[in-house]
Amino acid sequence: MSYEAKLKNLGLTLPAPPKPVANYVPVVRVGDLLFLSGVLPSRDGQLILTGKLGQDLTIEQGVAASQVAVLNGLSIVKHEVGSLDQVKRIVKMVGHIASAPGFTDQPQVLNGASDLLVALFGDAGRHARVAVGAAELPRQAPVEIELLVQVLS
């Protein structure tokens, strides 16, 4: 089954790839690696949630935000290479989590994105990862995700 069919079976669809909000590109390809810029949890250019985990938002809301952010990242990947079936492996994910003082559940928040990648890509979706707390993120976003993706040559 193709990754895009599997995504549909999971009840998910890819949004249009988000447009940069400053002077950068959404992805840089070097050989068979795609380096994605930070991706926020937005739909149609609007954040789905704002605020900090542990203050304004629950872990469950953070999980949902990380899933939306990673779907936006996958949309960028598809736009760059034409199909998710070109993905060979998700190499690494870095998640920045806007956190209130004392909030230490950043890994749980990022599990939303990680679990989605593994559900979609299987073993090829297992990745190295960093989950860090941030005092502030752009536009008051609760999460920002970076991806490093290996694609077929």
- Bridge partners (DSSP) of residue 145 are 39, 95
What pLDDT does 78 receive?
98
Return the DSSP state at 129.
E
What pLDDT does 153 receive?
83
C-alpha atoms less than 13 angstroms from C-alpha of 31 in its C-beta half-sphere:
4
pLDDT tens figures, 114-128 = 999 999 999 999 999
pLDDT tens figures, 9-56 = 999 999 999 999 899 999 999 999 999 999 999 999 999 999 999 999
SS3 34: strand
What are the structural domains of the chain? 3-17+27-151 (3.30.1330.40)
What pLDDT does 82 receive?
97
Cα–Cα distance measured from residue 52 to residue 134, given in angstroms and rounded to the nearest whole number: 9
What does each C-alpha distance from 138 to 51, 94, 107, 134, 152 come to in angstroms? Answer: 11, 16, 20, 11, 32
